[in-house]
Amino acid sequence: MTDLPIQRHRAILDHLEAEESARTVRLAASLGVTRETIRKDLAYLANRGLLRLVYGGAVRSGLLEPDLQARLATNIEGKTMIARRAVALVPDGARLALDCGSTTLALARELRARSGLQVWTNDIAIAQELAASAEVVLLGGSYAPDENKTTGPDAVEMMAAYNVDLAFISLGGLSAAQGLTDFDRNGYALRNTMRNAATGCYFLADHGKFGRPAHLRWKHPETASGVIADRAPGPEEQAMLAQIGLPLILA
């Protein structure tokens, strides 16, 4: 029997990731709880956009990341707050890795006040933003025009050849049920390589990421140095971060 709601929620989402659909009867039997309990679990997850209810059960949500232009126009104030908190962690002369994203672009703008930086990135806009004030290494790979970034195994291989002091990585989502998540397999591979290359790594998450579903779960997020956010997430998300030992840093 799976007694704890958070354990059941994770089991349900894992099932949907593998099977794309789930029957209430089957979930109740496999988790050793009543159908009514499963119905409540499914309703809870559906209210948070993690699945879609259908007759007799649930199906996996369509988990698509908003496009770049939409992200750039969303919560500008919160992302600027995160960027200013993050830049306080960066000394002059640091070696940094920045992934592609609207929050890391906000950070790049704040980093212009620092001197002697070396920056590795796959984001064309970040490279342009820092070109006059830092030494920028633009990671090679296939060009993705919709995101204005490079991607693929060449970018991963190039990043893996370096060591950096700090990595700043945008999260796709942060939820109690799924933990820390990402949308894109190729993007995750590069972000994970940046994390492994860095002495310290910080995840960046504005409040729009809280409770948001994404289908790739970060492995061993506790190895990072913390999550920088513009406001505190809900108590369940805070409990999840505390459980895995990942500090929450508020801007």
Which tens digit of pLDDT belongs to each residue from 168-195? 999 989 999 889 998 888 889 999 999 9
Distance (Å, rounded) from C-alpha 42 to C-alpha 120?
Answer: 42
**Residue 117: its pLDDT value, please?**
98
What Rg value do the Cα atoms of the chain yield, rounded? 19
**62: pLDDT strictly greater than 60:** no
Please state which CATH number belongs to domain 5-60.
1.10.10.10
Q: Are 94 and 114 in contact (CB under 8 A)?
A: yes
Task: Give the number of other Cβ atoms within 10 Å of residue 43's Cβ.
Answer: 12
Look at domain 68-250 and name its CATH class: alpha beta
**210: pLDDT strictly greater than 80:** yes
Q: What is the DSSP string of 157-216?
A: HHHHT--EEEEEEE-SEEETTTEEEES-HHHHHHHHHHHHHEEEEEEEE-GGGBT---SE
Two structure tokens written together for 51: 């699945």
Average of per-residue pLDDT across 123-144: 94
**Residue 47: its pLDDT value, please?**
77
**114: pLDDT strictly greater than 80:** yes
Q: Are 18 and 43 in contact (CB under 8 A)?
A: no
**Residue 64: its pLDDT value, please?**
42
**153: pLDDT strictly greater than 80:** yes
Range 84-123 burial, b when 16+ CB lie within 10 A, else e: ebbbebbeeebbbbbbbbbbbbbbbbbbeebeebbbbbbb
- pTM greater than the 0.95 cutoff: no
Residue with tokens 């950096």: 164
Domain ranges in the chain are 5-60, 68-250
**229: pLDDT strictly greater than 80:** yes
How many Cα atoms occupy the beta-carbon half-sphere of 86 within 13 Å? 37
Average of per-residue pLDDT across 33-46: 90
Q: How many helices (H) and strands (E) does the chain have?
A: 10, 15
Average of per-residue pLDDT across 1-9: 75
Which helix (H) or strand (E) segment is 124 a member of? helix 124-130
**Residue 195: its pLDDT value, please?**
98
Q: Are 237 and 174 in contact (CB under 8 A)?
A: yes
**Residue 154: its pLDDT value, please?**
95
**37: pLDDT strictly greater than 80:** yes
* Average model confidence (pLDDT) across the chain: 89
**129: pLDDT strictly greater than 90:** yes
**94: pLDDT strictly greater than 70:** yes
Residue 70 pLDDT class (50, 70, 90 cuts): low
| 15-35 pLDDT per residue, tens | 887 776 789 999 999 999 999
The DSSP bridge partners found for residue 250 are: 229
Q: Are 224 and 246 in contact (CB under 8 A)?
A: yes
| DSSP state at residue 92 | T
Distance (Å, rounded) from C-alpha 174 to C-alpha 231?
Answer: 13
Share of the chain above pLDDT 90, in %: 64
